[in-house]
A and B are shown apart, each in its own frame.
Chain A
Amino acid sequence: MSGRWLTRIAAALLFISLAASTLPRLIAIVTNARTLQPLTYEARRERQMGPWYASIEKLRAELPKKEPVALIAPPRDLDAAVFANYYLYPIHTRLFAGRNAYRNAAPDPTRPKVIVAVNALHAERTEYDILRDRDLRAGRRVVTVPQLSGPIPAFILPIAASVDGPSPDTFLIEATLANPNAAPAEVRVTFWPKGVVRTIAIPAHSTAGYYDFVYQLFGIMSSGWIDVESSQPLRGAFYFVNRGRGDATLLPNASPATAIEPGALYRDTKLFIINPKGTRATAILNGESIPLDPHAFISRPIESLPAVGGDVYAFVSTRELNGRTNFLWPQ
């Protein structure tokens, strides 16, 4: 066989080896293109990328054009956020790998206020507290077996919160209310000092559980104290929980008291004073008079245990080095 034929055969084999892989894929490209041809360009993108792209199109229409946007994506879905960034441009975006990255950027004044939650399936404009609630709902409560009180018609929770610190600190109230009676209970819950009220009904012989009592009832992320009044005596358990660290403290049913039990103080120590009454009150703090509005809730940082007096409820919170929150309640 001549060299010329050898060259031709070798070239043909080489070409066939390339075409064997390329030709079917070229045919697939042409077939796909023919299928997409009747559609508009945006519809073609939707066909390629599915409902995810449709949600991006919707966002493009509804987002403010000149305001930066925070793209919050679960770490496993960062690619989706990268592409959302691409399709939303020229809207400026900043990517946050998970909600914690966003909350940790709280001290940054340039952190975007407009939030878009993105995952591999869709993207939507949302609010931080909605994302937080979604995460909390999907997680597990810290207290699985709550220690219920005896049946009583009213509770005063000296502290009630639904707030975040830097990751992982997530403070909330886990609540359980059991109605042991044969009649349904109508429960009036008031969040002070805002004074917002919600009424819940607990059927007879039923139990209501809350993973984030303040947010679930009032739809706000805030701190204060809570007054619970029920038409029937209820058994209740309210825990101040740091969900991120998995620690929980059973809250006492507060009535005016100021003699705070001595205990070790660590970091971020704060004195809290509440006025549970509907009239003005005066707290005496190390001899200094502090006037309090009805239902007031005040806190101030302290370094040593103060002497508190007055017709108020006072307690101290302090954080151990491991991040656990300890409370010193009045005797």
Chain B
Amino acid sequence: MAPQITSEPRAAAPRSITATRPLLGWRTVDILTIAFLGAALGVAFWGWGVFYNGPLTALKIGYAPLMGLFAGPWFLAGVVGGLVVRRPGAALFCEVVAALVSMLPGTEWGATVLVSGILQGLGAELAFAVFGYKAFGAAVAVLAGVLSAPLEWAFEVVSFPASWADVPVLSVLADGGGWYAEWVPRDKLVYLGAMTLSGALLAGLLGWVLVRALARAGALSAFPAGQEQREIRAV
């Protein structure tokens, strides 16, 4: 169970400490921490949803695609979950729990929140997987925030062409689509750009800062992120 720590903590600081092996051997504290973090962030998601709908509605009426700038906080759970537990599935699990919790009190998006949680979590998960669950620095966190956006974006703007009406099976989809199916492609692309930027900053960077702050507060002593802090500042 001993975590992998080099003999010289200070030298190890720039490199990420990985989770204990085997990577898929989730400890109880890993599972519970993801579930609890997800639940707490889910409550925050719900609160953000109220803010997103209230004070930000003016912007929505002005030029709706810019609302993507405020999508980032919803990607936070995936980034934070991945950074804390550092195991395959952590980002996805955390984002899905957060989505589930934020869905229960009732939001303007109904049960689609659960689907969005899966899509966003998969994106964040991809970023950590690309680096083999070995790197957890700020750059990887930003990438996780960025990759949370595309699948969610596709889900929101997808539109099925009217020409499918003649195709068997697919015909039921003809002319249907997601929330913003009726936008012109340029607006959809602006929306993607805004979401990506927001994901990089409000999920990636913010998530990385948050995890570091939690580690410094001594709340992550069971996790690699906490051990990095503790070995640097051993007392």
* A and B associate in one complex: no
